[in-house]
Amino acid sequence: MSMPLGLAYARVVHREDGMHAPDYDDVYCAREGGLDESRHVFLDGNDLSARLAGLAASQVFVVGETGFGAGRNMLATWALFETQAPPRARLHLFSVERHPLRAADLRRLVARWPTLTVQIERLASLWPAPVQGMHRLALAPRVTLDLYLGEAEAGLAAFEGQVDAWFLDGFAPARNPAMWSPALCQALAARSRPGTTMATYSAARGLRDALTAAGFVWTRRPGFARKRHMLTGRFEGQATGRAGDARPWYSQPSAVPPHGRIAVIGAGIAGTTVADALARRGREVTIYDAAGPGGGASGNRDAALSPRLAVEPTVRTRFDLAALAYATRWLADHDPERTLWQDCGLLQLARSRDEVDRQARMLAGLGLPRSVVHGVDAATAAKLAGTRLASDVRGGLYFPGGASVRPAALCAWLVQRSGVTWRDHHVTALSRHEAGWAVVDDAGGWAVFDHVVLANAGAAAMLCPDLPPLGRVRGQASHFALAGAGNDASPACVVCDRGYVLPARGGRQSVGATYEPRAADLVVHDAEHEANRGLIGALLPDLAAAIAVADVRGRASWRCTSHDRLPLVGGVPDRARWCSDYAALGHDATQPVTTAGALWPGLSVSLAHGSHGMLRAPLAAEMLASALTGAPQPVAGDLVEALHPGRWLIRQIIRGRVAPDQDMA
Ligand SMILES: Cc1cc2nc3c(=O)[nH]c(=O)nc-3n(C[C@H](O)[C@H](O)[C@H](O)COP(=O)(O)OP(=O)(O)OC[C@H]3O[C@@H](n4cnc5c(N)ncnc54)[C@H](O)[C@@H]3O)c2cc1C
């Protein structure tokens, strides 16, 4: 039985002398001296003022912490970065917390730390639901926080990045021993590079020994206020990187040099979100697409942000939860006026006893907080939808964070606002040269780029033969005119069953989408409009009566799929090299292998978003942009691996289905 994903909030008692944690008999922040202690122990202990001031343009400085608590150290580091660092440098904060505070508790800290008011308010506005896993928060244009909610050791194991300075914080070792264990120090070492520093308020003997064993050379210094000693240190052990990992083939693409040129091929949601994420990091991006932004599946008028959760916390379930939380934060930042999206909530209806059972098992198994998803009965579902539901609806799941988006408008807006260079052409060939990739377009023009991102869905296979097989599934969405007071019958939130019905917009009711794996054309078919109308009829009887059947528009396009229905995000394996480097695994999959996966230099992909591109592409873009700028990954390492474009190839090799110089089975 797997552990539920939902976590308990921290118990907090606010007293005159500070904010207390009764479960640990310790304080989050004392009335006096809290920030001074942070500065003395952690910021000065890691010499951050000078190191941040000395950053090169576009350099990413990574700070890791073992106990977020009320965020005091991280917020103080952010404030220091804003005053010290050169204009284009970036700060990446990573911290772990088992019992997160509530946003309301965070906001109360403004009174204690008024100099951090801006930082506290921003953090509280982005504060994630208490769900186990990594949460990426874009604190400021150049400052990112990855907050892992869960056990510290699990968080460190999940973290895909290398840290420049560690803060070993958390409640006192005597009250919270797991936070200071030898295993934890080994985990810090595994995410350190030569020269990584550390600082901690504790100078306990056990900690000193554990640090030494992990490869840190420490020094005792005067502690803060009444504390006699604290420790600072430097990692001088062996940085293991991927060579020490059980699956070394899942390597990440190398960072692109700060002035490197990047081409993104395809201007659907995958390409435009990648281009935007890179441009926001100050990178020079050119995007190619002869069909214009949203020329493929992303050209739909409306879409839903709808996660499909399994009963168990599978990688897909965890990725979709992370993607939903990230996409809504990302949309709120990009479009606070809600012109391109609507945070209207989403219902997944249950109309059979089996589905009611499945949903109940899912809620019990995942244990997610109500703010993410909760069960509703039929009457509550109808109330949320604001319209009558069919009589066979037995209830459902309600996602308060579910949303509707306008994909075509969003893609066009991203291209226009991100300041990328637009090329109104398809790419017909890629060839690798010493100077980079030569990109040839359909007008015969060509240009050389340091890095190319393939985001052109199924057409990517024509440009890169080393990709895993990609499938395509036709889908058609319909937009019916609404007669008379039809808007009143349209749902107030997204309503899903085997398809989705969205809140009406501009006098039209969008519904989708058909799913035709065997179809071979993209002609809009009346029969598929009829199927979509049937969905409305099956779920929303008053709306069915209000749509003007004869006045319907629609659009058909291809969903691009992978063999396991997860997207492909990351670098592209060099098939010939993998086949020879990992050939031994075909005879014995338990063979120890240390060779890191060889990737095509300067090539990565965001593909195969299937039926969920609107949900998944923003987080996928953040993954790629992080890798290409040398920053840590926004999701846990096992999710990075689950989406790795080499996963199909390594399985084929292990199953003995592919050998060097042999076609793939
Ligand atoms: C009917 C339908 C309804 C859907 N509804 C939803 C929904 O409600 N929610 C959701 O999350 N997802 C939905 N999806 C899925 C979603 O639309 C896709 O996952 C998403 O659009 C994929 O985005 P993409 O950028 O990967 O691909 P695409 O949007 O297909 O973009 C690929 C782009 O690459 C360009 N291109 C191709 N070849 C080249 C080349 N050689 N050079 C340059 N450019 C090239 C194309 O012109 C195209 O613009 C739906 C899909 C369909 C078909």
Q: How many angstroms separate the alpha carbon of residue 551 from the centre of ligand 1?
A: 26
Number of Cβ within 10 Å of residue 417's Cβ equals: 11
Tell which one of 559, 562, 643 to mutate to probe ligand 1, the residue whose CB is within 8 A of the most ligand atoms: 559
Contacts of 63 (CB under 8 A, 6+ apart): 46, 48, 74, 77, 91, 92, 93, 94, 163, 164, 165, 166, 167
Q: How many angstroms separate the alpha carbon of residue 649 from the centre of ligand 1?
A: 24
The ligand 1 atom at the shortest distance from the C-alpha of residue 555 is: 1
The pLDDT tens digits for 12-29 are: 888 777 778 777 667 766
Give residue 42's region: left, alpha or beta (phi > 0; psi -120 to 50): alpha
Q: Please work out whether the CB of residue 459 comes within 6 Å of at least one atom of ligand 1.
A: yes
Nearest CA to 499 among 380, 351, 381, 608?
Answer: 351
Residue 178's pLDDT is 67
Domain 346-400+471-559 in CATH: superfamily?
D-Amino Acid Oxidase, subunit A, domain 2 (3.30.9.10)
Q: Please work out whether the CB of residue 475 comes within 6 Å of at least one atom of ligand 1.
A: yes
Contacts of 575 (CB under 8 A, 6+ apart): 465, 466, 649, 664
Tokens standing for residue 250? 């899942």
pLDDT above 80 (res 486): no
Nearest CA to 582 among 599, 595, 601?
Answer: 595
Residue 384's pLDDT is 98
Nearest CA to ligand 1 atom 14: 611
CATH number listed for the domain at residues 257-344+403-469+562-573+599-636 = 3.50.50.60
| 422-429: average pLDDT | 98
pLDDT above 90 (res 48): yes
Q: Map tokens 């199924």 to a residue.
A: 458
Q: Please work out whether the CB of residue 341 comes within 6 Å of at least one atom of ligand 1.
A: no
DSSP string, 317-362: HHHHHHHHHHHHHHHHHH-TT-SSEE---EEEEE-SHHHHHHHHHH
Nearest CA to ligand 1 atom 31: 268
Residue 242's pLDDT is 47
pLDDT above 70 (res 125): yes
Residue 245's pLDDT is 73
Same fold, 13-239 and 346-400+471-559: no
Strand stretches in 528-641, DSSP E = 547-561, 568-573, 599-607
The pLDDT tens digits for 319-351 are: 999 999 999 999 999 999 999 999 999 999 999
| 73-101: average pLDDT | 96
Tell which one of 272, 300, 562 to mutate to probe ligand 1, the residue whose CB is within 8 A of the most ligand atoms: 300
Can you give the residue ranges of every domain in the chain?
13-239, 257-344+403-469+562-573+599-636, 346-400+471-559
The ipTM, to two decimals, is 1.00
Residue 665's pLDDT is 34
% the chain with pLDDT above 70: 96
pLDDT above 70 (res 171): no
Apex 175 CA angle, 171 and 180, nearest 5 = 65
Give 446 or 24, the one with higher predicted confidence.
446
Residue 659's pLDDT is 54
Q: How many angstroms separate the alpha carbon of residue 298 from the centre of ligand 1?
A: 4
Q: How many angstroms separate the alpha carbon of residue 623 from the centre of ligand 1?
A: 19
Residue 613's pLDDT is 98
Q: Which range (185-194, 264-273, 422-431, 483-492) has the least confidence?
A: 483-492
User: 516-530 burial, b if ≥16 CB within 10 A, otherwise e?
Assistant: beebeeeeebeebbe
Q: Please work out whether the CB of residue 289 comes within 6 Å of at least one atom of ligand 1.
A: yes
| Distance of alpha carbon 286 from alpha carbon 271, whole angstroms | 11
Residue 16's pLDDT is 74
Nearest CA to ligand 1 atom 18: 613
| Distance of alpha carbon 621 from alpha carbon 617, whole angstroms | 6
pLDDT above 60 (res 32): no
| Distance of alpha carbon 45 from alpha carbon 198, whole angstroms | 7
| Mean pLDDT taken over the chain | 93
Tokens standing for residue 518? 């065997």
pLDDT above 70 (res 306): yes
CA dihedral sign, ordered 631, 634, 637, 643: negative
CATH of 13-239, one of 3.40.50.2000, 3.30.565.10, 3.90.1150.10, 3.40.50.150: 3.40.50.150
Nearest CA to ligand 1 atom 45: 266
| Distance of alpha carbon 78 from alpha carbon 626, whole angstroms | 19
Q: Please work out whether the CB of residue 293 comes within 6 Å of at least one atom of ligand 1.
A: no
User: How many CA within 13 A on the CB side of residue 104?
Assistant: 6
